[in-house]
Structure 1
Amino acid sequence: MLPMNNEIPSSMYEAGKKFVVLGMRWKLKKNSAEIRKDVPAKVLWYFPPITRFRRMFQSAKITKDLTWHAHERDSNGTMCHPADFPSWKLVDHKWPDFAAEPRNLRLAISADGINPHSSLSSRYSCWPVIMITSNLSPWLCMKRKFMMLSLLISGPQQPGNSIDVYMAPLIDGLKMLWEVGVEAYDTYKEEHFRLKAILLWTINDFLALGNLSGCTMKGYYKKKSLFFDLEYWKYLHVRHNLDVMPIKKNVCESLIGMLLNIPGKTKDGINSHIDLVEMGLHEELVPQIGEKRTYLPPACYTLFEEKKKRVCTTLLELKVPEGYFSNFGSHVSMQDLKLYGLKSHYCHGLMQQLLLMAIRFVLPTHVRHAIIRLCLFFNAICSKVVDVGKLDEIQKDLVVTLCLLEKYLPPSFFDIMVHLTVHLVREVRFCEPVYFRWMYQFERFMKILKGYVCNRNCPEGCTAESYIV
């Protein structure tokens, strides 16, 4: 009944144990342990990309746009498109037959989780896997029109390391697009051709990177990534890109929480001072432990109430051009002298421009300059045009900046997110400008998908059907 070397479980009990490992089960009835066998707990929607790739070439305009990288890109020494970078050129050099056809697609995918319910207490999770085509021009590549929802994973919890089970149909489609290709019709040239595609990299945050790459980012389990089933995957320079957006957000929150001494957000506490004592550093910061309270001597980055008011007042009375920010003052509390509810785009603006203005005249010169150097680093790597000759200088400046910050800030400030900044320049050098690889555009697209939810009992079904329509 089965092909050679295939086996089936010897009993229903053995089969049931395998289903348990995969997490296949049914939803429970509300306020009851009774099982609803008509509603699965975990759902996977797969949207085959091959059919949509063929449809793209049925539009003469889109077909012309898909060959922009080969026919209309300027070779003036600037690097503003993935085709200018080594990862793209590696494919051209190693597989010249693939590169000889400019209509062959270079793809990237992004995976992240969203909560489809308005209630923050809900633990239900949806993971859209979104695909983009890098052949297009820089002003079209990240447009919503060309973002393709390839997978929609949903369940009571995140897929974790089991995400490979859900990714299998997409990987099979990518293998066929690489090894065999599909027949497609070019409306612009009015001819048939064999369409192939290659996946250049994934775009995700640090935790999702661990699930997709197989590297140990949390816990102790390490696995072989399913992406290595793709023949070319082991040859690529950068397989999984770090998303700059959460890195910048976490670094910004750590800085703001420490400067304003926000409870629960600050990295400056008694444990940090004790660590400095054990390391033999900054003897002037030794905590004075009394019977009723402990006194922490102020450090060089400590802001007293008057200077905190100056920082908060600057951000509260901020006037910016329309469209640059929404009402930033609504996130400033003058009573508590803190910032709250900062989203990713707020942290982006703070680290790019606003924090530089807010800390003027409130910090010692050496501390202020070190923080400004960190802000200028993010400003440099987020530019839309990359000057390769300056990347080495940017990397060296970052190393010096981190060394300066280590002299002034507590050890607890230097968590994994601060460390990941060291790797960002390498990814820019090999892949493409940051704005092709951060999650802002994907987050906006996922907000649209979340808006499709009408029935809270089956959010993934609403999202899938509305997306198809």
Structure 2
Amino acid sequence: MDRSWIPKSKPGDLEYMAGVKEFINFAIKNSGGRTRLPCPCFRCHNFLHKRVDEILNHLSRSAFDITYTVWIWHGEDMEGSSRKSVEEDEGPSVDEGDRLEDMLRDVHGKFDENPSTFEKLLVDSEKPWYKGCERYTRLSSVLRLYNLKAGHGLSDAGFTEFLEVVKDILPSDNVLPSNTYEAKKILSSMSLSYDKIHACPNDCILYRNEHESLQSCPVCNASRYKKKEGVPAKVLWYFHIIPRFKRLFSNAGDAEKLTWHHNGRIKDDKLRHPADSPQWRFIDGKFPEFGKEERNLRLALSTDGMNPFRSLSSTYSTWSLILVTYNLPPLLCMKKYMMLSLLISGPKQPGNDIDVYLAPLIDDLKMLWDSEVYDAHRNETFNLRTLLFCTIQDYPAYGNLSGYTTKGKHPCPICEDGTRGK
């Protein structure tokens, strides 16, 4: 399809209007039935979604974005061919690769306030790995190689040496970064946010909100820092859940999967999934407004401690907290879409004081009840609500999370006084 009209014509020219009409027809054909599409005018830059008539009005007054020559937001892949036609001719691809086009579509709303960063990301996504390379771009190659680093536990120093070797093997005009720092810098704009929150070494408080400026714990007077000034005694890593849920719904395929429990599962009264359980139906009955919206999320909270250094003699402990989304089918909710939310690291486990570390997660769960989320599958915004459906943990962690005493003469929360000891 001819794109030469984009840089050499302007609104009002016959060639320009003919090209716009051709683009609109192409976008509608590949819209999948959506009523609002990204607007490619110079002002909107594909950041804002508009109705087709609004897009036509914008393009009649403002020039078509001259950098937008491969229409990836409107149905094309990086090679300029229609994804729809490829799927119809060849069937779905077995090797999805790094799904770069989907990732770029998912994150583009993140750059509303800083479009220049997104433009740089787009340039890297279109720049060939080296002259004549048609399969990989600078961004896709770095993403693919970094996935190998993460998947095989390669250290930063090892990855730098690996990049140096690959860069030396490739033609001299290649654009591969020469070290790990440069590779991370390329990918950093696509990452999701997290917070490192200082904590009392005795698990009394988190240094946030009203305690953020304190230098010592108001409960036990323990110092916030180790002997070396500026090094915190204990740290909580919190991975924000709201942007992660928003990114799930910003992908049309993921947004559709999140309604599987309502639209996709077999309903024959057999227990295959938590959605088939009496507890699920009880929640629907007790909170009908929540149950009526099938996109509302029901989460399981799972936690346990581990020794990250593989040494039984070490007292260092790391506790992770993972959220499982039960809206999804079993294979997805228990493998691909498990979401790490908290990492509590320190010389000892948090024990019954784990509730101190749950505070930022609880705040975000409350905030979600008033958060507008864009559903790319239905092309609309809605008020996303979440509910903690159950917890998953071993017996000692059950006691820490619930506050129930799981030791002594009556450790069973079901039997209680009827517990029989041996």
Task: Tell me the TM-score normalized by structure 1.
Answer: 0.41
Point out which structure has higher relative CO (alpha carbons under 8 A, 6+ apart).
Answer: 1
Task: Tell me the TM-score normalized by structure 2.
Answer: 0.45
Give 1 or 2: higher helix fraction.
Answer: 1
